[in-house]
Chains A and B, each alone.
Chain A
């Protein structure tokens, strides 16, 4: 079992630790996951996400190589841009969902912890014929997320980077708390915020410095439970739940990130076929009409028959409703469709609703 550099810090804060993707990570602190969730929506939270992997792609063919393995059009990334993308297998199912950062002389691909080794192998296999160097730098790179409306003000206290000049989905580098840091205006919570990459031996120093800088602004440490409820409300997929190696991104309603028009890439033909013929099942949002907590794996009934399943469900802390993401047959995926979720053996009424449940702040129209 892997421990992050901050393991002892989490224990000292009274965190409850759980195993996640081979790592021992805080699922919550004594504040509790709901308070942590609200802190990020209303003030700020800091997350230890060092379990995430970072894979560097260098070399003259870095761009054509990434175009070959990514569904997003990587050629649209200006220097310092950071963008969400998927990597797919030839049959269109998902290897992983990632963030691609364009750096000066290279690209950094941020991958899910559980997929780190698999992704590295996959990328290396796919690199045949491309003049690229692929390096897994996860061990020496630390990753923290600072998320919430106060994130900019808090980090500005301890950095020489002018954060007001770092728009959403871009990055900048400079000193944060005296440590050279790459800082992306990204995150997976639906709020404004930053993800920080820096030398792993500075983890404790950086953690303390950010907690101190945020003390008067309501910043608190947040665990995996809050991270999950925050991303869920924004309907961001989580590998192993909404996406995995048996589902394609079109069915997962991630078609926006699949640029079938950009030219050939791994999985393109299969995805184009799904796009043209329409997926058999679709990911939808459910709101419970009857009370009950829908959870991953619970069957979704249509006309009394099990026809789908929940991928993530919970009581949404922000909206105070019982909500779920679920796969249902495409012909029953329209908003307003009445379904049932089998909860503890009892069918409970639910209705298909629009997603996202919570529109990310940076995506709202002014």
Chain B
């Protein structure tokens, strides 16, 4: 538990995505706990720029050696940018889940949704419970 990295400059979905807001744009990735649970990531499939997404929609796929997992939109809005380099460097998800391995950026249509996401302490509790 204590081995995972949690950052307090962003919020989290219970499905282990993080969102970091800059203006009306939210940058989205998956948490350090999520990458650890996945183990070695071998592929990432990203949505297309321009896609309209609703909170909770499966919008990306992250594939590890053993499994494929959906990545859900933590917020509603439009995908305005994707991390084009990530599919060619899937190991970044393991190496730097909060930095280089961001997945996509959403132009939020309902910024109030951000406040509904888990803060770092609430997210730590989610992880703690999953660990047991």
List residues of A whose CB falls within 8 A of some B CB: 16, 27-28, 32-34, 225, 229, 291-293, 295, 314-315, 322, 344
Whether A225 contacts B66 in the complex (CB less than 8 A), given A291-B87, A344-B61, comes out as yes
Q: Are A314 and B39 in contact (CB under 8 A)?
A: no
Indicate if the CB atoms of B39 and A28 lie closer than 8 Å: yes
Other-chain residue from A16, A27, A32, A292 in contact with B43 (beta carbon distance below 8 A): A292
Given contacts A28-B39, A291-B87, contact A314 B45 (CB under 8 A): no
Interface contact B39-A291, CB-CB below 8 Å? no
**When A344-B45, A344-B61 are in contact, do A295 and B40 touch as well, CB less than 8 Å?**
no
Tell me if B43 and A225 are in contact (CB < 8 A).
no
| Pair B40/A293 contact, Cβ less than 8 Å | no
List residues of chain B with CB within 8 A of the CB of A34.
40, 42, 65
Q: Is the CB of A33 within 8 A of B39?
A: yes
Q: Is B63 on the interface with A (CB-CB < 8 A)?
A: yes
A-B contact pairs, 17 of them (CB 8 A): A16-B39, A27-B66, A28-B65, A32-B94, A33-B40, A33-B65, A34-B65, A225-B66, A229-B65, A291-B43, A292-B43, A293-B43, A293-B63, A314-B42, A322-B43, A344-B45, A344-B61
Check if B68 is an interface residue, CB within 8 A of chain A. yes
The list of the 3 closest CB pairs from A to B, nearest first, reads A315-B42, A293-B63, A34-B40
- Interface size class of chain B, counting residues whose CB lies under 8 Å from the partner chain: 10 to 19
Question: Shortest distance in angstroms between A344's beta carbon and chain B's nearest beta carbon?
Answer: 6
List B residues 89-105 near A (Cβ within 8 Å).
94
The chain B residue sitting closest to A27, CB to CB, is B66
Task: Give the docked Cα–Cα distance between A295 and B42 (Å).
Answer: 13
B4 to chain A, nearest CB (A): 13
Nearest A residue to B43 by beta-carbon distance?
A: A293
Question: Given A293-B42, A314-B42, is A344 in contact with B68 using a C-beta cutoff of 8 Å?
Answer: yes
**Interface of chain A: mostly helix, strand, loop or mixed:** mixed
- Shortest beta-carbon distance from A2 to chain B in Å: 21
The CA of A34 and the CA of B61, in the complex, are separated in Å by 20
> Which residues of B10-59 are within 8 A (CB) of A?
39-40, 42-43, 45
How many Å lie between the Cα of A34 and that of B90 in the bound state? 13
Q: Give the complex CA separation of A32 and B95 in angstroms.
A: 12
Residue of chain A at shortest CB distance from B87: A291
* 18 further interface pairs, Cβ-Cβ under 8 Å (given A27-B66, A28-B65, A33-B40): A28-B39, A32-B94, A33-B39, A33-B66, A34-B42, A225-B39, A225-B65, A291-B43, A291-B45, A291-B87, A292-B43, A293-B42, A293-B63, A314-B65, A315-B42, A315-B65, A322-B43, A344-B45
Give bound CA distance, A291 to B68, whole Å: 14
Q: Of all chain B residues, which has the CB nearest A28?
A: B39
Please measure, in the bound complex, the distance between the C-alpha atom of A34 and the C-alpha atom of B68, giving whole angstroms. Answer: 16
**Residue numbers in A under 8 Å from B66 (CB-CB):** 27, 33, 225
Residue from A32, A293, A315, A322 in contact with B39 in the complex, judged by beta carbons closer than 8 Å: A32
Give the complex CA separation of A10 and B36 in angstroms.
18
Q: How far is the CB of B23 from chain A (nearest CB, A)?
A: 32
On chain B, the residues within 8 Å of A16 by CB distance are: 39
Q: Which of A28, A225, A293 makes the CB contact (< 8 A) with B68?
A: A293
CB contacts (< 8 Å) of A33 on chain B: these are 39-40, 65-66
Please name the residue on chain A nearest to B61 by beta carbon.
A344
Q: How far is the CA of A229 from the CA of B61 in the complex (A)?
A: 21
- Bound CA–CA A33/B38 (angstroms): 11
Q: Chain A's nearest CB lies how many Å from the CB of B105?
A: 21
Give Cα A292 to B43, complex, Å.
Answer: 7
Residues of B within 8 A of A28 (CB): 39, 65
Are B43 and A315 within 8 A (Cβ)?
Answer: yes
A322 to B68, CA, bound (A): 14
Q: A344-B61, A344-B68 are in contact. Are A292 and B42 (CB under 8 A)?
A: no
What chain B residues lie within 8 Å of A27 (beta carbons)? 66
CB distance from A340 to the nearest CB of B (A): 16
CA distance A229 to B68 in the complex (A): 16
Return chain B residues, CB-CB under 8 Å to A32.
Answer: 39-40, 94
User: Which residues on A sit within 8 Å (CB–CB) of B42?
Assistant: 34, 293, 314-315
- CA A33 – CA B43 in complex, angstroms? 15
Residue from B39, B40, B94 having most chain A Cβ neighbours under 10 A: B40
